[in-house]
Amino acid sequence: MQIKIGDLVAVEGRYGHCLGIVKEYLEGAIWDWTVIECSTGNYIPCSSNEITLINTPEQADAWERKIKMKKIL
């Protein structure tokens, strides 16, 4: 998985679950990436293993449904 700035990603991390856009790579930091959450615009620090790259609209829809279900449960 090759993550790049500007990629649409799903984040499953300690700060929650969301869809977001990769903003920057943090070399030498505790976290690897900063992601901007699509729904709120909040910045989320996360590591590479908390990120899933979204390649198709169907994947984005599936992740959105998964995130909504986790909020309900």
More confident residue, 24 or 71: 24
Cα 12 vs. chain centroid, distance in angstroms? 7
Q: What is the CA radius of gyration of the chain?
A: 12
Assess whether pLDDT exceeds 90 at residue 8.
yes
Assess whether pLDDT exceeds 70 at residue 73.
no
Over residues 54-70, mean pLDDT: 86
Residue 1, pLDDT score: 64
Look up tokens 């977001």; give the residue: 20
More confident residue, 66 or 36: 36
- What is the DSSP annotation of 2-69? ---TT-EEEEEETTEEEEEEEEEE-TTSSSSEEEEETTT--EEEE-GGGEEE--SHHHHHHHHHHHHH
What band does 23 get if pLDDT is binned at 50, 70 and 90? very high
Distance CA 34, CA 59 (A): 21
